[in-house]
A and B are shown apart, each in its own frame.
Chain A
Amino acid sequence: MINIAIIDYGSGNLRSAVKAFEHTVKDLNTKVSVNITENSSDLDKATHIVLPGVGAFGDCINAINNLIDMREALDKAVIRDGKPFLGICVGMQLLAKIGKEYGSHKGLGWLNSEVVPIDTLGSKIKIPHMGWNNLMISNRHPIFEGIPNKSHAYFVHSYHMTCKNEKNVIATVDYGSQVVAAVGKENIVGLQFHPEKSQTIGLKCIQNFISWRP
């Protein structure tokens, strides 16, 4: 029995993420329940944990910190118990030690990384990085099972993650410079793009996550 906990901390795109998971689950043979929760105790029952996210880094981490016992429950479920974890967009960025959006904020700190403004390198590229861009898959992580290199994924973000450990980067995207598009470390995976908005490819990522047994 698969039990997916999608953490509700007031993020605007929660519904889209939930709908995409529910849609994906319909096509699976195994029994899967998708639960939206703000209750830290639900993480004990969960087999998979999802952190969606849009908005500013500081607001998002504060909102999570304001859920009673949620930080402790996340650390226990993801770091100690090793449950598969998926962070989406800002949900991925929150894996960082520090986020430098409207000030400097401490993240979950699970990846040795920082979140900083996308470097335009003096070019005229537009910020936010908004639209469809090609995934350059550098590590054949299970999340990309059946997904060809250079597949299009939908991005919307103004800040990006810089990883101290290159091995944590599993896909990049070309936008002015090489922007981190996905990260992975043990049972943790993060997607900068929106799988719930990336049509077939995105739904495939979600399906892969559900089947993932790290």
Chain B
Amino acid sequence: MLKTRIIPCLDVHDGRVVKGVNFINLVDAGDPVEQARVYDEQGADEICFLDITASSEDRDTLYNVVSQTAQQCFMPLTVGGGVRSIEDVRKLLIAGADKVSINTAAINRPELVSEASEKFGRQCIVVAIDAKHNQSDGYQIFTHGGRTSTGINAIDWAKRVVELGAGEILLTSMDRDGTGNGFDIGLTKKISESVSVPVIASGGVGNLDHMVEGIRDGMASAVLAASIFHFGKYSIAEAKKYMRNAGLNVRI
């Protein structure tokens, strides 16, 4: 039976982890490679790096981080943030990423999704969707960390990117992100039911019940969380045990 995936996400800035937890056995808490290794040991099902570096000249640092991680962690690695072209995707895959997440660039030029999936296979192309609730139109997608509205309906967009060749959707609720109040279950369920590909629920996890809800009620295939793991509130192993006790199929 296929297992529900738990994916810790690391925000990486200039090759350093932002808000990394100081695990007791870590030499350098800011080192993404070390953080990834700990999550690997704790039983994470995948790892996600989100590059939040503003300038594009620092991309080489990211490739280096990805490459070093891939040398030590033999588990799936998704990398996103600032991916603008086929060349960016190619470089990340060569460095050792298994999946590459595309966000704003897909909105600016949707053909990038089809070009990338035709070239590298749809299994490695993730489209990240940042959605916000809107009174008149249900959910809309936003860019620039939820500040810029695109006027595009989130469900229509999810269907469109899957048609274009996305192999997975990383769905973040901008209303919930950073609040710790739980996933936007309505949004997650709507998107999960609208597309044939797996959906990763993201944005808002504050406790382990939220993770259970994302899968059970939101019908997501995977849950992504950052701060509850980073700050050591829960370990991956604790999260998995909790989810298993709630009747979900997890890999332990």
Complex: how many Å from CA A62 to CA B244?
44
Q: A199-B74, A202-B74 are in contact. Are A127 and B5 (CB under 8 A)?
A: no
Write the chain A residue with the least CB distance to B1. A174
Q: Chain A residues with Cβ under 8 A from B222's Cβ?
A: 131
Q: Find chain A residues with CB under 8 A from B123 CB.
A: 54, 128, 130, 156-158
**In chain B between 181 and 227, which residues have their CB closer than 8 angstroms to a CB of chain A?**
196-198, 221-222
Q: Mark A162-186, 1 if CB is under 8 A from B, else 0.
A: 0000000000001100000000000
Which A residues, 135 to 158, have Cβ-Cβ distances below 8 Å to chain B?
152, 154-158
Nearest-Cβ distance from residue A12 to partner chain B, whole angstroms:
4
Docked Cα-Cα span, A15 to B221, in Å, equals 27
Give Cα A196 to B72, complex, Å: 11
- A198 CA / B4 CA spacing, docked (Å): 15
- Would you call B122 and A133 a contact (CB within 8 A)? no
| A128–B167 touching, CB < 8 Å | yes
Is B124's beta carbon under 8 Å from chain A? Answer: yes
Chain A residues numbered 1-20 whose CB sits less than 8 Å from any CB in chain B: 12-13, 15-16, 19-20
Judged by DSSP, the binding face of A is mixed
Contacts A128-B197, A129-B2, A131-B222; is A23 near B71 (CB within 8 Å)? yes
Contacting residue for A134 out of B1, B94, B120, CB 8 A: B1
Q: Please tell me if the beta carbons of B75 and A199 are within 8 angstroms of each other in the complex.
A: yes
Interface string of A104-136 (1 = CB under 8 A from B): 000000000000000000000111111111100
| A131-B221 in contact (CB<8A) | yes
Interface contact A127-B197, CB-CB below 8 Å:
yes
Q: Is the CB of A132 within 8 A of B2?
A: yes
Residues of chain B within 8 A (CB-CB) of A158 are 122-123
* One of A12, A13, A126, A199 near B198 (C-beta < 8 A): A126
Nearest CB to that of A196 among chain B residues?
A: B74
B96 CB-CB contact with A under 8 Å: yes
The answer to whether A197 and B1 touch across the interface, beta carbons within 8 angstroms, is no
The answer to whether A128 touches B74 (Cβ under 8 A) is: no
A-contact 0/1 string along B75-118, CB 8 Å cutoff: 11000000000000000011110100000000000000000001
Q: Is the CB of B76 within 8 A of A126?
A: no
Determine the residue in chain A with the shortest Cβ distance to B89.
Answer: A12
A131-B74 contact, Cβ under 8 Å, with A12-B93, A19-B96, A126-B196: no
| A214 contacts across to B, CB distance below 8 A | none
Whether A198 contacts B196 by the Cβ 8 Å rule is no
Quick one: CB contact mask for A195-214 with B, threshold 8 Å, 1 for yes? 01111001100000000000
Q: Is B251 an interface residue (CB 8 A)?
A: yes
The chain B residue with its CB closest to the CB of A129 is: B2
> Given A131-B2, A152-B251 in contact, is the A12-B74 Cβ separation under 8 Å?
no
* Neighbouring B residues of A15 by C-beta, 8 Å: 70, 93-96
Q: Given known contacts A127-B196, A130-B198, A130-B221, is B74 in contact with A198 (CB within 8 Å)?
A: yes
B233 within 8 A of A: no
A56 at interface (Cβ–Cβ under 8 A)? yes
What chain A residues lie within 8 Å of B119 (beta carbons)? 55
CA distance A12 to B196 in the complex (A): 24
Contact A197 B75 (CB under 8 A): yes
Query: Is B138's beta carbon under 8 Å from chain A?
Result: no
B51 interface residue (CB < 8 Å to A): no
- Contacting residues, chain B, for A133 (C-beta < 8 A): 1-3
- What 9 A-B pairs have minimum CB-CB distances, sorted nearest first? A55-B121, A156-B123, A12-B93, A132-B251, A132-B3, A126-B198, A12-B120, A54-B121, A133-B2
Interface residues of A (CB under 8 A from B): 12-13, 15-16, 19-20, 23, 54-56, 90, 125-134, 152, 154-158, 174-175, 194, 196-199, 202-203
Interface residues of B (CB under 8 A from A): 1-5, 40, 45, 70-71, 74-76, 93-96, 98, 118-124, 167-168, 196-198, 221-222, 251
12 A-B residue pairs with Cβ-Cβ distance under 8 Å, sorted by A, are A15-B70, A15-B95, A19-B70, A54-B124, A55-B119, A126-B198, A128-B168, A133-B3, A152-B251, A156-B98, A174-B1, A203-B74
